[in-house]
Amino acid sequence: MSKAVKVLIYIFLSITAVIYLAPLLWVILVSFKTNSEIFTDPFALPKSIFIDNYVFAWTAGNLGTALLNSLFVCVITLILSMFLGSTVSFAIGRMRWKLSGVVLVYFMMGMMIPVHCVLIPLFTRFAKVGLSNNLWGIILPYLTFSLPTTIFIMTGFFKSLPGELIESACIDGCNIYQIFLNICMPLAKTGLFVTGLMTFVANWNELLLAMVFISDDMKKTLPVSLSKFVGPYNTNYSQMFAAIVIAIIPTIIVYCAFSNQIVDGLTAGAVKE
């Protein structure tokens, strides 16, 4: 590859990075402004660091409680999705049984069902069993809609593992549980990072189910609490942007912490040896 081509690639990647990062940086800058500064010159640097926006967003918006609720819901959903999704994927991808293909199609059908179609049936059913206005009432739908994608990706990872490893483990006397935990799971950890990030981010930003099923202010998740900053007649944009920054910080931390594993998982299998 010539130097000119490399320069063009670097220029293109730099421009792409700026396009993606510019809105995020703008939101952070605006969160330190007052409303008058935003309307006067929205793209200028803030005249002074206005911390009161974050104080108001955290206290009046009750973001502390909402943040804990979102963490609880997302972590529980993530753990259950990783455990159930990996076990089902291992059974479909590596174990030989007649209905494995049918079971995979059954789970994949869940990817074609819009969440809007199940709102009324779920709401009426949860109201009868006492799961309405309950965090577990949104964990179950989150888990249900997360499993198809997790199973689809993890099944591909398990199928790509060399069969010789499993045969050698069987010869050495390993049972099916030891093969799954000690051999297949470590080799498929990149798939777990990818599906884990997708599950966490999707559930962290989910609004519709949480808004329908949760009415108690002390049980609302972060996206629902953010909607309170937008009024029908007036919106305090500076405080709203401060709340948005608080909401996106955990996802940025998660991605930065596991960025290398996520990239490895996305590129796994892209190059044949």
Residue 22 falls inside a structural domain: no
Classify residue 272: in a domain, yes or no. Answer: no
- Domain annotation covers residue 11: no
| Share above pLDDT 90 across residues of the chain, in percent, rounded to a whole number | 18
Is 36 inside any structural domain? Answer: no
Residue 146: per-residue pLDDT: 92
Q: Give pLDDT, residue 261.
A: 67
Q: How many domains does one find in the chain?
A: 1
Q: What is the pLDDT of residues 198-257, one digit of tens each?
A: 899 899 989 888 988 888 888 899 988 888 877 655 677 888 888 889 888 888 888 887
Which range scores top for mean pLDDT: 37-41, 90-94, 236-240, 256-260? 90-94
List, in sequence order, the alpha helices (H) in the chain.
Answer: 3-30, 35-40, 52-59, 63-94, 100-108, 119-129, 136-160, 163-171, 176-178, 185-187, 189-204, 208-213, 222-226, 237-257, 259-267
Q: Identify whether the C-beta of residue 230 lies closer than 8 Å to the C-beta of residue 240.
A: yes
On whether residue 175 sits in a domain, the answer given is yes
Q: What is the mean pLDDT of residues 87-112?
A: 87
Please, are residues 215 and 97 in contact by the beta-carbon 8 Å criterion? no
Domain-located, residue 273:
no
Instruction: Show the domain range for 151.
Output: 59-267
Instruction: Please indicate, yes or no, if residue 40 is contained in any of the structural domains.
Output: no
Distance CA 193, CA 198 (A): 9
- In a 3-state reduction of DSSP, which class is residue 249? helix
Any idea what the CATH number is for the domain that residue 260 is in?
Answer: 1.10.3720.10
In terms of pTM, does the model score above 0.85?
no
Structure tokens at 243: 């709340």
Structure-token pair, residue 234: 């007036």
Residue 47 domain-assigned (yes or no): no
Q: Which of 16-25, 56-65, 235-244 has the highest mean pLDDT?
A: 16-25
